[in-house]
């Protein structure tokens, strides 16, 4: 990073508050791209084939269960802005394999699943949306702006839970290598959402961003919500791009179900934890 920014003087101009790259006119399109890491706690209920499981996973357990046979995880955010209008895209992907911690014991009709319980789990979340700046205060000592936003959030999940057949009664589930196995198959849905975002410059080169949204409304999930708070600091700026580092906290919750009886799938959970990343602005 030091070599990338070595040619930039320490007194270089700050990023424009509209989050454009340096030397850009408000009438120009600007692009920012962020790569980040998100280490969430996952807590709630997972239901597969009419069987319910308690989920209580820590970030360290998520890391231990990452499936490195392919791409274990991907997190990125991109925003295209012109004046008061912007369009954004956020991608979250993770794949867990062989986790003994992902699913805790839970009821399964008259039979309790216990012992040698494990899970394979794949999840993709893709957001597409737009924001519009409805208020701003460009004072001499502080700068603030308030955006409204709307969009859609696509979810994809594929989960399987296995439990030792020797330790459990008959569950009317397939047995593979001595384990009962419950598979969800591919589950997909789309949630519309609406929300707002506050951007506030604490001082030149340091910004606080707060975002919240609610969605689902029965169109996809019954209900979903999200809250994000981030603090970013400018690391360097050149004539063509700027680089920021940031850290914060993200919480995302959803209550989704489909089917009935032994074909019911349910995911009612909260994912929350720290985020850290870097943004390049052009």
Whether 220 is in a domain gets the answer yes
Q: What confidence tens digit (pLDDT) does each residue in 2-51 have?
A: 445 644 433 332 323 444 445 556 678 999 999 999 999 999 988 887 77
The three-point CA angle 220-147-85 to 5° equals 90
Residue 240: CATH number of its domain: 2.40.128
The predicted pLDDT at position 247 comes to 97
22 found inside a domain: no
Range of the domain at 162: 30-281
Average pLDDT, rounded, for the chain? 82
User: What's the DSSP call for residue 104?
Assistant: B
- 268 belongs to a structural domain: yes
Q: Model confidence over 101-118: pLDDT tens digits?
A: 554 444 443 233 344 456
Does residue 150 fall inside a structural domain?
yes
**How many folded domains does the chain comprise?**
1
Is residue 141 domain-resident? yes
pLDDT tens across 264-278, in order? Answer: 899 999 999 999 999
Contact yes or no for 191/213 (Cβ under 8 A): no
* Residue 97: per-residue pLDDT: 84
Cα 186–Cα 189–Cα 192 angle in degrees, nearest 5: 160
């Amino acid at each position: 990073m030091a070599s990338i920014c070595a040619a930039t003087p320490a007194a270089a101009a700050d990023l424009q508050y509209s989050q454009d790259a340096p030397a850009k006119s408000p009438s120009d399109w600007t692009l920012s791209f962020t790569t980040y890491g998100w280490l969430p706690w996952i807590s709630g209920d997972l239901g597969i084939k009419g069987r319910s499981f308690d989920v209580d996973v820590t970030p360290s357990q998520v890391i231990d269960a990452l499936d490195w046979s392919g791409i274990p995880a991907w997190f990125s955010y991109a925003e295209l802005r012109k004046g008061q209008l912007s369009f954004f895209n956020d991608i979250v992907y993770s794949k867990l394999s062989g986790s003994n911690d992902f699913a805790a014991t839970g009821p399964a009709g008259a039979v309790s699943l216990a012992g040698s319980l494990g899970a394979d789990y794949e999840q993709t979340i893709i957001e597409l949306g737009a924001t519009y700046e409805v208020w701003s205060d460009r004072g001499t000592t502080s700068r603030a702006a308030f955006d409204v936003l709307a969009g859609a959030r696509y979810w994809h999940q594929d989960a399987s839970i296995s439990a030792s057949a020797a330790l459990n009664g008959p569950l009317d589930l397939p047995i593979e290598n001595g384990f009962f196995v419950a598979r969800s198959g591919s589950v997909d849905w789309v949630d519309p959402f609406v929300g707002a975002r506050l951007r506030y410059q604490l001082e030149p080169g340091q910004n606080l961003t707060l975002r919240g949204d609610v969605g689902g409304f029965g169109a996809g999930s019954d209900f979903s919500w999200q809250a994000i708070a981030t603090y970013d600091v400018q690391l360097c700026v050149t004539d063509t791009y700027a680089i920021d580092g940031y850290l914060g906290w993200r919480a995302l919750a959803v209550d989704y179900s489909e089917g009935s009886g032994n074909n019911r799938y349910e995911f009612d959970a909260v994912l929350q934890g720290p985020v850290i990343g870097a943004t390049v602005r052009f």
